[in-house]
Structure formats: structure tokens, C-alpha cells
Structure 1
Amino acid sequence: MDAVKIKYYFFYLASVVVIIAGIKAVSEIAIILFLAIFISSIISSLINLLEKKHIPKLFSYLVVLGIFTLISLLLSYIVNISLKDFLSNVPQYEKQLQAGVINIISLGEKYGFQVDKKTILDALSFNSFLGITTNLIGSIGTFLSKFLLLIIGVAFILAESKSFEKKLKIIFQNNNEKLEHFNLFSHNIQKYFLVKTTTSFLTGFLIAVILMFFNIDYPILWGVIAMLFNFIPVVGSIIAAVPALLLSLVSADLNTTVILGIFYVVINISISNIIEPKLMGRELGLSPLIIFFSLILWGWVLGIVGMFLAVPITMTLKIAFDSNKSTKWLSILMSDVGKEKD
């Protein structure tokens, strides 16, 4: 019996390797497919909420999909203009930052501190930052070029969802337990994506409002970046804060930058550690180790976009494992149970 189980485990492992290799080979198609499925889950949740208010499904479908499309196009337009303007002004910002650092170094030298100016100024060059930014812009540009295809995919998935439910009932008509497992999986997926998208949007909105209050350039751009990077745990919020804080240091002063840094920390900690766990529940938490390796794996498979999709994809797998008794042990291994009570 043990030998048979080991053979099955090796078979499953080999299947996983083949599937991941296949996804990497068709990464461009896979990205659109994953995004369409995730967006459909969010929109489907909103349509269900409107239906509970006795609003016709077709009207709800058209309204929610139309609003999502308009908001996406508007944000894409604003972000595109802001990015182009920001990149054109980067050399000026770099000179201002280096001038401020030279003043600080000169002040330190008066008190006897010896510092290698050239090394520090080279480290403050925006070239490395621009390399990351350029790659990110390229990925966003590729995504926007396929935005119409994504919207069409979402529309077809939503249109098919009702008949898909009927198909599942026919398939599982003699097995209510499997149908319950799938319904639980579907409910938890929609709950996760709706909550995560809402809290990410709230993060980006608060960041944009605060940056507007302190008159920092391109507040909507940094708000959108904060919203997107909120899908990347821990490191995402740090990466999203760096460009805005550097810009604040250049265009404002040190006190303003420190205050903004505090706001970034408070907003991210409050939303990710207080609001999200209360809305999602501890059962939808992931182990930090699983999060770390999922970022590496899906970043390698799908590129930069894969880092944004890493946690949603991993969470989908965890919820799928949790929905079935035979695979629940995998869900427990992936869970963050350290903070839970016995």
C-alpha cells in the first residue's frame, strides 16, 4: 500500500511539473486567462449583490462590466500620461536628489565624518530604478494592448457562468458532496478576490488622497501603483512607497517625507493586518514561506505580472485543497496557523 501511495505522489509531482512548464510556455495566454477568471470572480460577486437588490441580471451585468471598463480605461489613460511626464522629468529629480545628498554629506564632514561622495552619488543614480520601471511599464503596456481581448474574455466567462452551474448540477447529480465542495470553493474564491480588490483599492485611494494633500507630484500614479503592489505581500508595499517618498524628498522636505513614510506604514499595516483578516477570516491566510516561494515561482513562470498574480493563484489552490477532505491537509500546510488558537 505504501509503495502504491509513493507511486501516486511521484505521479502527481510529475504532473505538477508538466503543468507549470506548459503554463510558462504559453505565459502570454495564461496571463490573460488568469486575469479574466479573477476579474470575472469579482464582477460576478458584484452582480450577485445587485441581484439580491432585485435588479435584473442582464442590467446588472451590463452596468458592472461597463463601469469596470470605463474605470480601467480612465486609470490607464491617467497612469500612461503621468508615467511619460515622470520619466521625462527623472534627470531633473535625480540632480535635485544628489544636490540634497551633497549638502547632507558636507554637513557631516563639518563634524568630522569622512564619506566617499562618488560611491554614494553612484548608488543614488536612477538608472537601476529606471530599469525596473521600464520593465514594469513594458508589462503594463503589453497588458493594455490586450485589454480588449481581456474584456471580451471576461464577458464570455460571465455569460457562460449560469449554464456552467447547470452543467455542474448534471455532472454531480448523483454526488451532492462534490457539488457542495465546488460551491464552497467558488464562494471562498469570490470572497477572497472581492475583499482583496476592495482593500487594495482602499489602499491606493488613501495613498493618492494623502499625496494630494501634501502636493506631491503624480498622486494618482503612485496611488495606482500602491493598489497594484498591494497584491504582493510585504515587499509590495515597500516597493510602492519608494518612488513617492524619493519624489517627496526632492520636491518637499525631510519632515514631509518622514510624515508620508509614517502614513504609508500605518495605512498598509491597518489594512493588511486588521481589516483584511477580519473580512476574510484566518482560514484564508497563507504561510509567509508559501507566499515567498509563490512569488519566486510565479514571477519566473509569468514574469513581472506573475508576481501580482502569485498570491491570488496560490490562494485559489489553497481554497481548492480546503474544499475537499482528501486534500485538506495540503491546505493546512499552506495556512498561516501561527496566530490561530488551538
Structure 2
Amino acid sequence: MVRGDRLQSVVHGAALALIVGWVLYVGKQVFVPMVFGVLVVYVIIGLARALTALPLVGPRLPAPLRYALSIFGISVAIAAAVSLVVNNFGRVVQLVPTYQDALLQRIQQLAEFLGLQAAPTWTALREDFLARVQLQDLIGTTVVSVTGIGMTVLIVLLYVTFLLLEKRVLPAKLHAMSDDPADVARIHHVLDSINTRTGQYLSLKTLINVLLGVVSWAMMAPFGLEFAGFWAVLIAVLNYVPYIGSFLGVLFPVAWAIVQFGDPGTVITLLLLLTTAQFLIGNFLDPYLMGNSLNLSPFVILASLLTWGGLWGIPGAFLAVPITAVLAIVLSEFPGTRPIAVLMSRNGRLHGRLHGRLGGPPRARAPAGPPA
């Protein structure tokens, strides 16, 4: 009977996972902005808390002012990024004919280098490629995508506004959820773990990504690479995606350098510099600052990247790590699902650097909701 009950639980769990996955896939237009809104709220709260560390002035700043400064700073950063993208698209449109000719020349040089020019179908293949892939059409499609992203950003900002308003009444709602103080304390404990570990990950990861973007820009600008600022922002954003983001962060600017310069020495030098920056920051600075804050296995991170990327596309790749970390924390709080959390962890121990054992007894007193 015990084995039958376990098999039944496994079957029910698998069926539930399939149903939840189908709902997430079908409703990605609704869920993706919502999750991004939650993460932006974490960044706002984390920045507001960081302001208290300012010497002399920080501890005296009232909470509303700290939140206002945090929101203002994030809004300025988003506006600057949008302005950079719009301006770069305008410059790309102007330079399209030049770079299309340059792309044709690079293909010709590659054909000559590989000895393929004598092939009877090479010229036809090259002309057919440029006839089918027009950079103007590609840019037009990209502009439409950017417009859709702009609408999504507006929806995310609406979610952020209402979530910040909801934060004020969240403690009262948590206390009203149960009459048992132990249950309320357990909920507080789970939320406190999620808030601290997720907020810590986002704040440190953002700091590392900004540093990587600045270093990459300092490497690209002396070469005169077009749109170096845009590539630096793209590198910083892509670094939120584990493993794949680092590869794409080097691929895109180097591919553009091939079209712009065509000089193997310049391209190889730029490739080595950007790869070195990714390697040093990703393998030394990132582990030093992040430590084991999320306590996730590398295999689980890769599997979550593929899973959430398959469900939600590119947004899912950016959200994979925070969602998986929250899921691991929640699973660790229930005896039936704690073995799954152990398998998801990096070292088999369910603990964080700040809270100790997550599956242990709830604390008698813990802050309610995201800290101010």
C-alpha cells in the first residue's frame, strides 16, 4: 500500500506539473509582465534599502523618500536605455546600405579564402541570400518588436505601481490568513527567505552586469566600433541569462566588427578582449560576490533555462534563475517536496548564507513581507 500510495502521488504530481506547464505556456502574455513587475519591485526595494547605507544622510532618510529616489533612479536608467536604443536604430537605418555592401564584401572574402569562388553555384547562392535577407526588412521587423516591448514595459510599470501599493497592507493580509500563530510565522519565514535571497541575487547580479557593460564599452570604444554603447548595454542585459548570455554577449559585437572592419587582427583582438572580460568577471568576481546565495545546482540552472525558455521564450530565459530559486525555497518548506529541493540544491544542504536551514522550524518573529 505504501508503494502504491507513492506511485499514485508521483502520477498525480506529474499530471499537475503538466497542467501547470500548459497554463503557463498558454498564459505567458499575462504571466511574463506580472513576474517582471515583481522582480522590478525587488530591485526598487533593494535600492531603497541600499540608500540607508549612505554615510550621514542615509539613515535619516524617511522610507517614502528612499522609495521615491529609488523609483526615480530606475526610471532614469530605463529612459536612458530606451533613448539609446531609439537613437541607435536611427543610425542603423542610415547606415544600412553601407553595411549591406560591406556584408557582401565579407562574404566574397570568405569565399576566396575558402576557395569556394570557383564553385558554379556560389555566386548564385550569394545573390539569392542577399535577395532574400534584406537588412531593411529585418530592421522593420525589429522596430515592430521594440514597439511590442514598449507596451510590455508599460504593463510592467502598472504592475509595479499596484504591487508597491499592495505592500502596505500585505502584513495585515498575512496575519488574517490563519488563526494559528505558527502558520503565520511559517509564512513569514518563507517570504523572508524569498525576499532576502532573491533581492540579494538581483542586486548583486545587477551590479556585476553594470560593471561588465562598462568594462566591455571601454574595450570596444577605442576600436571605433559602431554602437559601442548599445553593445555594452546589450552585454549587461544578456548577462542575466546563465551560460548562453555570455556567449551571445561576445558574439553580437564581434559579428558586427566583422562587417564593419573586416580586418582579422582587429576582430580577433576584440574577440579576445571581450572573452577575457566575460571569463574574469564570470569566473572570479561573480562567484566572489554571489557566493552560494541561491544554492542551485548548475545542472538545475541549465535545465531551468531550457524549460522556462521553452515556455516563455526569451523572457523566460531572463526569469529562469529567480523563479527556480523561489520554487526551491517553497519546496524546501514541505516534508513531501523537501527531497526535490535537496536535489535542486548545489551541495545537498538546504540553507542560505543568511537564514540557516530553510526546512527547519519557523522563527517566532520575522518581518512581514518585503522589508522597507
Aligned mate of 1:284, from 283, 294, 301: 294
Q: Is the 1:98–1:124 Cα contact (8 Å) retained in structure 2?
A: no
1:37-48 matched pairs, under 5 angstroms:
37-48=38-49
CA distance in 1, matches of 2:134, 2:247: 17
Where does residue 72 of structure 1 map in the other structure?
78
Indicate if the aligned counterparts of 1:24 and 1:302 stay in contact, CA closer than 8 A.
Answer: yes
Within-5 A mapping of 1:28-43: 28-43=29-44
Q: Which amino acid aligns with 1:6?
A: L
3-state DSSP of counterpart to 2:331: helix
Contact 2:48/2:66, CA 8 A, preserved across alignment: yes
> How large is the RMSD of aligned CA atoms in angstroms?
3.2
Of structures 1 and 2, the one with the larger relative CO (CA 8 A, separation 6+) is: 2
1:195 to 204, 210, 213: 204
Structure 2 counterparts to residues 95-134 of structure 1, below 5 A: 95-103=101-109, 105-106=111-112, 116=119, 117-118=122-123, 121=126, 127=133
Identity across the alignment (%): 20
Aligned to 1:227: 236
Q: Could you tell me which residue of structure 2 aligns to residue 331 of structure 1?
A: 341
Of Structure 1 and Structure 2, which has the larger fraction of its residues in helix? 1
Structure 2 counterpart of 1:315? 325
The letter for the 1-side match of 2:270 is: L
Offset of 1:122 from its aligned partner? 7.2
Quick one: distance in 2 between partners of 1:288 and 1:88? 43
Q: Which residue of the partner structure matches residue 182 of structure 1?
A: 191
Given the alignment of the two structures, is residue 14 of structure 1 paired with residue 42 of structure 2, yes or no? no
CA distance in 2, matches of 1:318, 1:132: 40
User: 2:201·2:293 contact (CA, 8 Å) conserved in 1?
Assistant: no
What is the SS of the residue equivalent to 1:216? coil
Q: Is the 8 A contact 2:100 2:135 kept in 1?
A: no
Distance 1:241 1:286 in 2: 25
Structure 2 CA distance for partners of 1:192 and 1:20, relative to 1, 3 Å: same
| Cα distance in 2, alignment partners of residues 124 and 230 from structure 1 | 32
Cα offset for 1:222?
0.9
When normalised by structure 2's length, the TM-score is 0.77
Q: How many residues are matched? A: 335
Who is 1:26 aligned against? Answer: 27
- SS of the residue corresponding to residue 167 of structure 2 reads helix
Structure 2 CA distance for partners of 1:225 and 1:4, relative to 1, 3 Å: same
| Counterparts of residues 239-250 of structure 1 (less than 5 Å) | 239-250=248-259
Deviations 1:160-190 (A, max 9, x none): 2243234335546234344323312221111
Bigger Cα Rg? 2
Q: Cα distance, 1:276 vs. partner?
A: 2.0
Residues 47, 70 of structure 2: 8 Å contact kept: yes
Deviation at 1:127, TM superposition (A): 3.3
Structure 1, unaligned runs of 5 or more: none
Paired with 2:206 and 2:72, the residues of 1 have a C-alpha distance of: 18
* Cα distance, 1:137 vs structure 2: 5.4
TM-score by length of 1: 0.84
Question: Residues of 1 paired with 2:335 and 2:64: CA distance?
Answer: 37
Structure-2 change in CA distance of 1:220 and 1:267 (3 Å): same
Given the superposition, is the C-alpha separation of residues 276 and 131 from structure 1 closer, same or farther in structure 2, using an over 3 Å criterion? Answer: farther
Q: Per-residue displacement from partner, 1:144-175 (whole Å, max 9, x unpaired)?
A: 12323322321221232243234335546234
